[in-house]
Amino acid sequence: MRRLFNFFAGMIMGGLVGATIAILLAPVSGEEVRAQLQERTIRLRDDVMAVAEARRAELERELTALRAPYRKE
């Protein structure tokens, strides 16, 4: 268990160090980076919500089809 914790701690630390270096060496200003990150985050959120909604609709159709034989008419 301790080895797993150390592994994940190392991954998090490596990610933080890598992100810090990337920000420091970025060819654009911090304001531009934040704006780009915000735009990408919004786009990603919208994409995830669209995919989730499509999957939900698909599952609802499947559920309706599975329930159909048991419905009383």
* CB 48, CB 56: distance < 8 Å: no
Q: Encode pLDDT of 42-64 as tens digits.
A: 999 999 999 999 999 999 999 99
Calculate the alpha carbon distances from 35 to 25, 30, 32, 40 in Å. 17, 9, 5, 9
0.85 surpassed by pTM: no
Q: Look up the domain containing 21 and give its range.
A: 2-70
Q: How confident is the model at residue 73, as a pLDDT?
A: 62
Residue 68 CA to residue 59 CA, distance in Å, equals 14
Q: Which of 49, 22, 50, 55 is nearest to 37 (CA)?
A: 22
Q: Encode pLDDT of 17-28 as tens digits.
A: 998 888 778 788
| C-alpha of 60 from chain center | 23
Number of domains in the chain: 1
